[in-house]
Homo-oligomer: A and B are copies of this chain.
Amino acid sequence: MSQLWKKNLINITPYVAGEQPENSRIIKLNANENPYPPSPMVEKILRDKNAADLRKYPSADAVPLKKALARRYGVREENVFCGNGSDDVLAAAFRAFFNSDKPVFFPDVTYSFYPVWCEVLKIPYETKPVNSDFEIDTKDYYEENGGVVIPNPNAPTSIGKPLDIVIDLLEHNQDCVVIIDEAYIDFAPDGFSSVGLIEKYKNLVVTQTFSKSRSLAGMRIGMAFADPELISYMQAVKDSYNSYPLDQLAIETAAASLSDEKYFAETIDRIKNTRDEGKKILRKMGFTVLNSDTNFLFASHPEYSAKAIFEFVRENGVFIRYFNKPRIDGFLRITVGTDDEMSVLYKALEKFFESVK
């Protein structure tokens, strides 16, 4: 056969996600998953669900979830967009809002899916280097551009910023859409979220996810908050690609999670305590650890290679994340697990230091 059809194949380099080992005895601190189960209300949904309903299509606009989110975040239903994980939400936003010949700006050290979407969607982009403390300088984003996307807190650096940084970005970027990716916001101090700014800034999109703070990574649920006009464009993109991205159980488990804020606050507190304790312990071991406003720690060691440490603890049954990338290849990204899981990690690290003495 001629195989001439191969000339029409797409040419892309896909994103590579964290390993998902099948062995359940491995301690997974490599995907920023929540170590605690979702609210018991979620389990109740699964027990009570009438499976016969599954024969019907879900609500195309995830209406029950939009209502629950509007209630929880003090916005209107028209301010909310829901998608199949915040990756789906962010990709829809890129598609809807980044249609300029000018480059979209984002930090050089950030979520590695941004350049992938730009390439796939043929969006020109330019990265703005974070400084040596891995901090963003807002002045880098004052130039003319086709859009701005910044995570707050940033990943994998774990650094969160108060709202004045976001307001500065918005004040200097009124001719493009600004996306603030808040995947980790629930682990940051109160008042860091930009959701309250969408009323004033009509060009602001704030994205969040149920995968981290709400322990529902397995259900693929993400959302955006913005002015109704922006939401309508994201909706148009979604409706032109896949009308029903969120299945019935994703909609229902997410709404159930939102109905149990007490549980939510408790698990967030536990994770923050373990994180702050972990920072101290790692620093005592000689690590440089950035101040984290997320559910992970970003740490490097002045004497030993991150790759060597990564491989050693991996052989000892603990998966953490190492990025073989410029600027951050000296760092490890460690998801905050339970106190017990962290103890196993600390022991593995001590064993490493013993082995290299």
Chain A interface (Cβ < 8 Å from any Cβ of B):
1-5, 7-10, 12-18, 20, 28, 31, 33-38, 40, 42-43, 46-47, 49, 51-60, 84-85, 87-88, 91, 95-100, 116-117, 119-120, 146-147, 174-177, 202-203, 211, 215-220, 233, 235-250, 253
Contact = CB atoms under 8 A, between A and B. Distances in A.
A242 B14 contact: no
Contacts of A53: 218
Contacts of A8: 97-100, 146-147, 176-177
A243 B18 CA distance: 11
Nearest to A146: B8
B117 A17 contact: no
Contacts of A246: 220
Nearest to A34: B55
Contacts of A35: 55
A46 B50 CA distance: 9
B9 A233 contact: yes
A244 to B, nearest CB: 6
A310 to B, nearest CB: 20
Contacts of A3: 202
A174 B5 contact: yes
Nearest to A104: B8
A95 to B, nearest CB: 6
A17 B220 contact: no
Given A17-B57, A17-B244, A53-B218, 16 more contacts: A4-B174, A8-B98, A10-B96, A12-B236, A12-B240, A20-B59, A37-B55, A42-B54, A46-B51, A55-B215, A56-B217, A57-B218, A84-B245, A87-B244, A120-B241, A220-B244
